[in-house]
Amino acid sequence: MMKGPAFLLAVVAVAMWSCAEGPRSSGTRQDSGHAVAQHTEVCVATSEQEIASLFDRWNNSLRTGDAHKVVANYAAKSVLLPLVSSKPRLTLDDKEDYFHHFLENRPVGRVDSRTIEIDCNTAIDEGLYTFTFEKTGAQFKARYTFAYKWDGWEWLITSHHSSALPEKE
């Protein structure tokens, strides 16, 4: 007859011991001998339409002719691998220097095709775009990738890669 209460007492003791352990400070938990990262981030709701509009925001900032306004679209910790420069632009000052020169020909971008992928507080917009340089009338077709991260207030570019299309195959 004592078997029932003893079993119940053992279950309660194990449950209390499990609860008392609490979360680990390293942000991981053990699961069958493997460390598993705990995810506590709250994901902001977004849509493909909103992510697509971020290109429009960036493109509109190009049209101002103000490099500082263009750079305001980029996170402080971001990478720009630009269209017409072989130098990676890692700091906001590097990016501003690049755009100061890029804006001289008054570029206007147009997305020709795109794919958008959305995850928790990150998004990727990649595809093909065409730049028309209003000062010269020249056009340039290129591939692009914009990676965005939600910073708690707004979507910012964390990685921007642009490269010329290869010669026709």
Q: Which residues contact 10 (CB under 8 A, 6 or more apart)?
A: none
Rounded distance between C-alpha atoms, residue 95 and residue 67, angstroms? 8
| pLDDT value for 84 | 86
Instruction: Please write the tens of the pLDDT for every residue from 122-155.
Output: 999 999 999 999 999 999 999 999 999 999 999 9
Domain contains 115: yes
CATH number assigned to the domain comprising residue 71: 3.10.450.50
- Listed as ranges, residues in the chain with pLDDT below 70 are 1-34, 36-37, 39, 169
The span from the first CA to the last CA of the chain, in angstroms, equals 83
Q: Which of 117, 133, 104, 128 is nearest to 51 (CA)?
A: 117
Domain contains 82: yes
| pLDDT value for 26 | 43
| pLDDT value for 169 | 67
Domain contains 2: no
**Containing structural domain, residue 154:** 48-164
106 DSSP 8-state letter:
-
98 DSSP 8-state letter:
H
Domain contains 14: no
Domain contains 149: yes
Number of structural domains in the chain: 1
